[in-house]
Chain A
């Protein structure tokens, strides 16, 4: 690695090259070490000095190696944690939230309708894309209210202002996206907000509450009241979440509805993994 980072003298470089360039295996080994150096860079295993040195020596075409290394790391982490993930059981609990939500329904309904009315018509493939171009949030509209549990930092979960960069994600219910693992959502550094569009499978209520939980089952955000809307995909519910709430990690969005005796009933769970870039 010292050779690849330019930490050897010319004489030492000559010596190493004489030894490694003379055989196919030797040259290949240098290439293998170069990949491992890239992995170490991506994993954050390099010292600050070496990190800078690595970056200063990157040339055209190498960004592809870095991207591959980053992808390999993400996929392997995903697979390695699949067993642990299967063991994660999201708390299913009943919450007496209905009275407060009912009071807020009327107040927010007008704003929510305004938001829906002013929303530009969705493109035909809107539900199939994981990301979308930035859209503006109408400032005059009052979207569903995200409520941050008291244990979290103030300001988390705020709805971004106009001109914010919004990532749109459509999720189907279930703990896994497919047999390859959790649905991954790559949240770019510039994103201000993620709007989760949850596809509602079963017939039932039209008013919901959503709770965002991390992998430990800790509540990070509550958004209510939420109203379903009809799309080409069926009935969906939109959950706006400030991007700052979403660090790297696994999450579950629980969709709840009013149940008997004012208690909330879990309707569906939407699991996903966030990868920040």
Chain B
């Protein structure tokens, strides 16, 4: 079970007399491990949902959403939808609506903390020294090159063709690629995205490994 799930389990148990979260885990998987993975997936999707809807602090509302679902389960509600996330999504929309209303009422909506990493005072992207920043970027570039080299030739070409270029030329190139490959553009988009996700994970892992000792 993931550390986060353990923390959540203990926290939610305390507030919901334990029952709701246990029911949630039972719902999500046949064992704790699978349930933990599914829980993380739902949590990650909820973060995206709140982010896409423009809420500046998604994690707060994710916790609130999960709490509410657990409460409902503890009170005997049964989730009938085949994909549990859709149930969470329904609850999340209510949580978000209430959050906007509360914010509107307290007149703080105009300056929600944490919006925009480029703003001063932002706590998740503190200003860094220009030279350090340049070194970090150079390290990222080098890691990315190495990770790209580790991809297969087909995947390298996919990344280069799909993400290389910009503007209208890029759109046309993607359309042609989809035609050549005989797949819909959406399928091509997802295919490229999956490789990109692996690439990004490879870079982050390499940066973590090299942190503090990376030498160019």
| Interface segment, one of B16-24, B28-36, B141-149 | B141-149
A68-B203, A71-B137 given as contacts; is B116 within 8 A of A58 (CB)? Answer: yes
In the complex, A35→B53 CA distance in Å? 16
A45-B166, A184-B141 given as contacts; is B133 within 8 A of A55 (CB)? Answer: no
Assess the A79–B160 pair: CB atoms within 8 A. yes
Interface residues of B in 96-134 (CB under 8 A from A): 114-118, 123-125, 130-134
In the complex, A191→B86 CA distance in Å? 50
A165 nearest in chain B by CB position? B130
Interface size on B, as a range, is: 35 or more
Q: Interface digits, A110-132 against B, CB 8 Å rule (1 contact, 0 not)? A: 00000000000000000011111
Q: Interface digits, A13-44 against B, CB 8 Å rule (1 contact, 0 not)? A: 11001000110010111111111100110011
In the complex, A44→B170 CA distance in Å? 13
Assess the B54–A6 pair: CB atoms within 8 A. yes
B85 nearest in chain A by CB position? A21
A28-B193, A75-B145 given as contacts; is B115 within 8 A of A59 (CB)? Answer: yes
Assess the B124–A32 pair: CB atoms within 8 A. no
Q: How many residues of A contact B (CB 8 A)?
A: 68
A178 nearest in chain B by CB position? B145
In the complex, A36→B85 CA distance in Å? 25
| Minimum distance in angstroms from A201 CB to a CB of chain B | 20
Assess the B144–A58 pair: CB atoms within 8 A. no
Q: Interface digits, A171-183 against B, CB 8 Å rule (1 contact, 0 not)? A: 0000000001100
Say if the beta carbon of B180 comes within 8 Å of chain A. no
7 pairs of residues in contact across A and B, judged by CB atoms under 8 Å: A32-B192, A39-B166, A128-B215, A131-B138, A134-B131, A188-B131, A277-B130
Q: Told that A14-B93, A68-B144, A190-B130 touch, could you supply 15 new A-B pairs with CB distance under 8 A?
A: A25-B186, A25-B190, A32-B189, A34-B48, A57-B51, A59-B117, A60-B117, A62-B117, A64-B204, A71-B140, A72-B144, A75-B144, A165-B131, A184-B138, A275-B137
